[in-house]
Amino acid sequence: MADIKRTHNCGALRIGNDGATVTLKGWVDSRRDHGGLIFVDLRDREGIIQVVLNPEIGQIAHQHARDIRSEYVIEVTGKVSVRPDGTVNDNLPTGKIEVYVDELLVLNRSKTVPFPLDGSEDISEAMRLKYRYLDLRRSEMQKKIAGRAKLVSIIRSFLDSNGFLDIETPMLTKSTPEGARDYLVPSRVAPGKFYALPQSPQLFKQLLMISGFDRYYQIAKCFRDEDLRADRQPEFTQVDMEMSFMSSDEIIEIMEELFVLVFKEVKGVDIPRPFPRIKWHDAMLRYGKDAPDTRFGLLISDVCDLANQAEFNVFKGVLKNGGVVRGLAAPGITGYSRKDMDNLTEEAKIHGAKGLAWVKIMEDGAYNSPITKFFPDGVLDKIKERLGAKDGDTMLFLADSEDVVCAGLAHIRLHLAGKQGLIDDSKFDFVWVTDPPAFEYKPEDKRYVAIHHPFTTITKETREHLETDPTKTLTDAYDIVLNGTEVGGGSIRIHERELQDKVFRALGIDEDEAREKFGFLLEALEYGAPPHGGIAIGLDRLAMILTGSESIRDVIAFPKTQKAFDLMVDAPSDVSPIQLRDLYLKPTIKPKKD
C-alpha cells in the first residue's frame, strides 16, 4: 500500500491553497454520485472539504469512489482549485475551493452507522452512549471535548507559571468516615481488607503542604458512589489545589485571576473583578441555597414577624413550632389561573413544602388572594414593601421548617425565572459564597456532620462555640458559584493538632477512631505543619458551562448512565469465580435468571 503522508487537514484548506497538490485523509461525510461526477465531502477533526471525482481527471479514482459509502476512511491526492462560478458553498469555511482527485485509496470501510452523525436528529442518549466512539465523531462533540482540552491546557499553564507543582496522589487509598460512599477495591494479599478510591485527594494535598511543596495542583479523578444527576458522575475530575501560607483572600484572588483568564481565552468574555461575595447565611436567606444564581432578582425575604400578625393558622402554627415564613415577589403571573397556581404549588412540594400561599397584587394595587382576610389592615402593605413587590406582582410564601422553605423558594425562584425568561443565557455571573457553618445537625443520625469536610478551619470568632453549640461555628471556607452552579470550593485547613482533635470530637469521632482513620494526619500536624488552604474546581461542571452543555456527560468522553453503567463496555460486569477466589470474595446476591 502506498504510504503517502497527509499534507493538510481537510478543514484547514482555504482559497490561499489554490493550485497546491494535497493529500488528505479522513472520513466520508457524504457522497453525491452524479453518475459522471462524484462529489465527496471529506471530513476530519478540522472540518469538511468537498473533493471532486471526475473520470477525466482520475479514472481509477472515480471507479473506486463509486463503491465508497458514508464513514469510509479514505485518502485522496489531488489539486486544490477555486470552485467554478455559481458553485461556491457559503455554508462551509472551505466552500470557495474543492480538490480534484487524481488518486483515491480506501483505508478502511464502514458499516452503515446506527445513527446519523450530522446532528440532524436528537439521538437518544442510550444509543449515543452505546456507540460513544461514533457519537464523539460528531462535530458538536468534537468541539466540546476539544474545548475541555483547551480549558485544561489554560489551567495547567496558569498554575505551572504561578509556581504550582503537579503532583500525583494515590488512586488506591484508604476508606474514611464522613462524606460520600466509597468505591472499594478488595486486596488480594490482605484477605478481607479493602482499598478505597479517593473521593478527593484532600488529605494527601495537605500532607504535601506539610512536606513543604508550598503550592500543589493536580487534575485529579475523584470517585463517589452516590446517585447521579445531570451534573454528577461517579467518577469526575477536579482541578485540585493547595497552598501554604495563604489567607482565604489571597487564594480567592489567585482563583479569580485564573477564572478571568479562562473566560477571556475560551469565551472572549471579560469578567469584572473582584467577584461579588456573599456570606453563606445570606445566600440561604436571599436565594434559598448555597449556590445562588445571581443572574436575576426574585430575592427571598423573611417575613416571620409580619406573618405572625395575621390570624392565619398555617403561618401561626409553623412559627410556633420554630419554622419560618418567607416569600418572594414574582412578576407577570397575576393572570395565573387557579390551576396554574396549583401547578406552581406542586413545584414547591417537590422539596417537601405542604402548600404555597400567594397574594396577587393587581395593577390597581388591590390584593387578590384566598388569605387576605386573615391579615389586619396594613400588614400586607408592609409585606409588600419588605418583598420589594410592585403592583402587578404576585407575592409567594412558604411556611415550614427553614430547610424546606429555603429549598422550596429556591426552586420556585428558578422555576419562575426560567418560565418568565428572566435568565440571560449570555451572562456569566460568578459569586463567592463564604463563611458557611462547620456543622449541621442530622436528627436521623442524632449527630453533627461536617458541611464541608472535617479538616476545614473554624473561624477564630466562632471557635468558642465548638464545644457548646457546634452549629454556631463558621468556617473559613469559600465556594465559587457560576450561574447557580457550584464550580469549586475550598477552605483554609486546620493545621493545629488541638483544633483538629476538637473538631473530630464535635463530630462524634472518638480518639481511637480518629487515630485509626486519620492517625497519619494527626501525627503529621505535630511535625511543623504550615498554615495552608486550598480549593478544588469541578472541571466537568466548568467545561459544561463553557461549552453550553446541559449535562457533564457531554464533556466527558466516556461517561456513565444514571445507574452508573457504561453502556459501551458493559460495566459493571460479572467476573470469573477464579478472580473472586483470589480476592477471597463470595457474592452474597445471586444473579437474576434471564
Cβ nearer to RNA, comparing 332 with 352: 352
Least distance (Å) between residue 141 CB and RNA? 15
Provide the b/e sequence for 155-194 (b: ≥16 CB within 10 Å): beebbeeeebeebebeeebebbeeeeebbeebeeeeeeee
Q: In DSSP terms, which residues pair with 447 in a beta bridge?
A: 442
Taking the C-alpha atoms of residue 549 and residue 18, their distance in angstroms, rounded to an integer, is 38
In angstroms, how far is the first alpha carbon of the chain from the final one? 48
CA angle 30, 34, 36 (to 5 degrees): 125
Least distance (Å) between residue 249 CB and RNA? 20
User: Which residue type occupies 437?
Assistant: P
Strand 73-82 to strand 393-400: parallel, antiparallel, or no bridges (unpaired)? unpaired
Least distance (Å) between residue 301 CB and RNA? 22
Least distance (Å) between residue 310 CB and RNA? 28
Cβ nearer to RNA, comparing 69 with 419: 69
Least distance (Å) between residue 29 CB and RNA? 9
Cβ nearer to RNA, comparing 25 with 43: 43
Cell of 29: 461525510
Least distance (Å) between residue 288 CB and RNA? 12
Angle at which helix 539-546 crosses helix 248-267, to 10 degrees, equals 40
Phi/psi at 406 (nearest 5 deg)? Answer: -60, -55
Cβ nearer to RNA, comparing 113 with 190: 113
Cβ nearer to RNA, comparing 75 with 290: 290
Cβ nearer to RNA, comparing 25 with 31: 31
Least distance (Å) between residue 54 CB and RNA? 6
Taking the C-alpha atoms of residue 3 and residue 103, their distance in angstroms, rounded to an integer, is 13
Quote the longest CA-to-CA distance of the chain.
93
Could you identify the residue written with the cell 423573611?
A: 302
Kindly provide the residue ranges of all beta strands, DSSP E only, lying in 366-409, ordered along the sequence: 367-368, 393-400
Cβ nearer to RNA, comparing 295 with 382: 295
Taking the C-alpha atoms of residue 41 and residue 118, their distance in angstroms, rounded to an integer, is 12
Cβ nearer to RNA, comparing 466 with 536: 536
Strand 215-223 to strand 235-244: parallel, antiparallel, or no bridges (unpaired)? antiparallel
Least distance (Å) between residue 57 CB and RNA? 9
CA angle 223, 229, 232 (to 5 degrees): 30
Cβ nearer to RNA, comparing 71 with 75: 71
Q: Please tell me whether residue 193 adopts helix, strand or coil conformation.
A: coil
Q: How many helices (H) and strands (E) does the chain have?
A: 16, 22
Report CA-CA distances (Å) from 177 to 332, 508, 516. 48, 11, 11
Least distance (Å) between residue 381 CB and RNA? 34
Least distance (Å) between residue 291 CB and RNA? 8
Cβ nearer to RNA, comparing 95 with 186: 95
DSSP state of 392: T
Cell of 100: 480534484
Phi/psi at 592 (nearest 5 deg)? Answer: -70, 145
Least distance (Å) between residue 487 CB and RNA? 11
Cβ nearer to RNA, comparing 324 with 395: 324
